[in-house]
Structure 1
Amino acid sequence: MMSFRQAMNPTNLMNTPNITSDDPMNGAHCCLICRKEIKRLNLTLMGRPFRPLPVCNCVKENFFREERERELAEKRARILRIYGDGLMDEELKRASFANFEQRTGTENGYKIAKMFVEKFTEQDAGLYLFGPVGNGKSHLAASIHHQLLDQGYASVFINVNLLFRKLKSTFGSNSQKSDFDYIQAAMQCEILTLDEIGLKPLSEYEFGVLYDILDGRKGKITNFTSNLDFKRLREWLSQDKDGRELDPDSRAFDRIVGGTLPIRFQAESSYREFKLQQRLKALQEVI
């Protein structure tokens, strides 16, 4: 059967047999894919009857679907060339839901993160995972990233401080990637995770990068991890490291809170303190 692209080629169209036949069933056929009967159209071209046999809708839909999939695959490949596995440490590269140790104060975060992946196509907002250090926020955010990446999504995980260092390393160098490349890829990916926002005061340039990414992702899903609640986040975004005003209208803050569901982590101690207590307890049992 002729493809949609072939069917719409003017040469093939004009050479189609019986194209001016008065009989609408002359040359009609049943689509081999959907079994729908395809009849000739009744048109006039330059005063002459013109009765082409149209391409079945299922063929057109399949063509456009393949085109969208091809474009998406190319975009995913471009993003992967920029970020690879993401900007994260080796520990987070191994993070998964299976090796996350749940503790009191982290149970809800774990359940919501798993549900986020399971129902990703239904999500209309990202997650803002916040709370004290060592509560497993980055681990769960990385677990979401890895699982969606495995499912074929263009997922990017970025520790924002590593991103700022990476961007500055492109200045005046022979790097094949510019800061614009990194920013564009972060804007265009299907799911973005910005890890550890609020860890260090921002420079004017860093705020500009962050705002460009947030503004460019309107309508897309972005996850965040932070030690800061929303009140402290607003303060962090309001001025730079030298105390100069950055965002008087709270534009960046509005982009974050308007597109996320805040999830608080409240474990009594950090994961590293928790593991230390486990080792001490095991040692006491031996002694």
Structure 2
Amino acid sequence: MDYIIVSTAVIDRITDPRGNYLGEKLGGAGIYAYTGAKIWSDDAILVTGIGRDFNTKFEYWIRKNNVDVSGLIIKDEKTAISNINYLSADNREETPEFGREHYQKMEATTKEIASKINNTKGVYIFKDCNKDYWNEVFELKKNHNFKVMWELNGDVCKPDCLELVKEIAKNCEMISLNKSEAFSLLGSDDLNYVKRELIKWNIPLIYLRVGDKGAIMISPDIQINIPTVKNINVIDTTGAGNSSTAAIMVGYCENMDIYEIGLMGSIAAAFTIKQFGPTDIDENIKFEAKKILVKMKQNKKD
């Protein structure tokens, strides 16, 4: 399996910044990241725990999108529910309906990840700073020679976690966080300062997401701004960061140039925000994504 996505598949109950309840949708960082990877690669799998009710609730989407369910592991009768309250477009609060212990039970163990590794190129992980967990991940990485994309859980984006975050990040090829998370982690709302500090981490690629302004790709020797896809009717921004981050992983592991990698992330995000819940990932979507990529690359040349 070329790409393994390690995060949650849940039911999202979403309230928008205006206080409007949008109902229950298929969600979770893992689901959105899976779609972002699948837009660009046919060979990706989501590894996570689910409730026994999951496949029944979302059978239509699973069948329509030919989802490989072999990485979905039944760990409880009920699928986790996340109550998402948006304070603004890029700032939200999340509360697990059945409690944090139930939610955490759904997370894939490193043994469950290992069971799916087979000539794997990249593993996306949305996670906190659990050192024991990461030590096990890095042992797998050492033995199987895959690359790691770490999307930081917002809970660890605070100054007292900074040194631990840096310690884990130095063993990753890629990390991803949004502007608000970077400001909180580094204790500054000065974007130029944040960029200077992140460069010092000397990580091959940092994907700094800046909402409707696009993203900034940061590596030890280059910084480059990545535009968003234009003329998108934004319906719901949930999952845009997850999907774009997984797309970035695919581009990096396929040795694309840094600007093209960034565009792949923007395009994945664009498909995510066009509706409530995850995008479809059929051949029409993949074809359209490739067309947009060609056009955006040409626009840069022009």
Q: Assess same fold via TM > 0.5.
A: no
TM-score w.r.t. structure 1 length? Answer: 0.31
More strand by share: 2
Q: Which has the larger radius of gyration?
A: 1
TM-score w.r.t. structure 2 length? Answer: 0.29
